[in-house]
Structure 1
């Protein structure tokens, strides 16, 4: 199962239909194993095969499962009206994100009145150590959760502003906790800046993060910092709605404790 999921992730990472030869080039498994896994995924309708073009793409069953996950396990459905209102108020791009193991998963996005081309899109996964939403969430994790996540970061230098070590990142996380919000100072993409705040439950569990993103030609970091109070209020309202919503881990804990 684990190998099949790895191949499924690999196919999805292309962002387009792909031929077997392309999959094989990036697969960690031998040709026979890769082919067998692809056939299993295709038979289970997790992958679709276009016989005319000889390409593979995520299948309709996967789309159905993804929709169920989006509805049941992400903040997106309950956060939608709140990020709609925030986007209208600030006029810039708003992101809603959650942690996916050691990475950031963008679960929703509202474009600015004048959209800016950037990496982040709903459904995309990005690095945690050099994005505003990622750092905002990392800053509020307990050490037992934070340490393994930090050890899994690549610390690849995307731009001259990227933090490239755990020591630098830990210092940054301390600053974020002190001021209550995070910045992306062109750390992931040149010219792209943002301010981000965590969405925290009453018990201070990290549920996700919100960011307002723009370019350094439209706003300064000081301009974005001025938006922190309205973002914080939006995060508080989303968290309030989430308190009555059963997240998978919260439901599991309730079952274990019998409360």
Structure 2
């Protein structure tokens, strides 16, 4: 088998894994086939390979496929090696206790925001974000804080991946408007979500920068407009920036993933 063919096969197998994961429950072959671009025989062969490697589990009685335990082991290994969450967790916890609001820790993942840690306030608010969940970058405080400090070429690439869907009347729906906001964030050092992703949800966010100025994560304090205004959140700036700096120092020796 040629190297290119091998890459193609791996890509197809990962695509099947993604489809099984996206369903969110054990799934039948017929369901996968209905949404697959692969011929029946190819899809069956890929599924059999994934089962044999422990990436999927097949239930003979229900005739369904679900994610395998090997993926759990890989996920834990990736979490330890590629996420700053284990290092940042005590700092996130301390900040949440200090400010009495929900604190998020996030990283960029293929142009989107991956929430890697979340600490709720004593009185938590129902909101979209959860640890392990992926959200849009262009309309979240952590996303904008991360994008604002990317290099020019990397920022161009990330901006191409934004959908600019209007979630609320406050959502920035053009690259021009977002770039203007990012310029302000670079100058000020903090970002805000002014109900841009969810109505009634606001936040103040700061990047976590390496000694070379590379954004390795972002931290936010999130609350509801029923509790605070954006102006109120500004008072949390010293605590937020101080925590971001402490996390940055703690992860300085961490091997940053490309």
TM-score normalised over the length of structure 2: 0.90
Cα distance in structure 2, aligned partners of 1:30 and 1:194: 47
Alignment deviations for residues 157-203 of structure 1 (CA, whole Å, 9 cap, x no partner): 12222111111111111121122111112212222111111000111
Q: CA deviation at 1:28?
A: 4.2
- RMSD of aligned C-alpha atoms? 1.7
Q: CA deviation at 1:243?
A: 0.8
Determine whether 1:129 maps to 2:138.
yes
Which residue of structure 1 lines up, in the alignment, with residue 166 of structure 2?
A: 157
Cα distance in structure 2, aligned partners of 1:118 and 1:103: 17
Q: How does 1:1-259 map to 2 (within 5 A)?
A: 1-249=10-258
Which residue of structure 2 lines up, in the alignment, with residue 254 of structure 1?
A: none
Which residue of structure 1 lines up, in the alignment, with residue 7 of structure 2?
A: none
Contact 2:216 2:256 in 1 (8 A): no
Cα distance in structure 2, aligned partners of 1:170 and 1:6: 33
Alignment deviations for residues 55-102 of structure 1 (CA, whole Å, 9 cap, x no partner): 333211000000011111110111011001011111111111111121
Matched position secondary structure for 2:27 = coil
Find runs of 4+ consecutive structure 1 residues off by over 4 angstroms: none
Q: CA deviation at 1:228?
A: 1.6
Alignment deviations for residues 7-34 of structure 1 (CA, whole Å, 9 cap, x no partner): 2222223333333344344444444433
Cα distance in structure 2, aligned partners of 1:156 and 1:235: 29
Q: CA deviation at 1:53?
A: 3.5
Matched position secondary structure for 2:251 = helix
Alignment deviations for residues 213-237 of structure 1 (CA, whole Å, 9 cap, x no partner): 1111111111112112111111101
* More deviation, 37-46/69-78: 37-46
* More deviation, 81-90/159-168: 159-168
Cα distance in structure 2, aligned partners of 1:172 and 1:87: 26
Q: Number of residue pairs matched?
A: 249
TM-score normalised over the length of structure 1: 0.90
Structure 1: which 5+ residue stretches go unaligned?
250-259
* More deviation, 50-59/158-167: 50-59
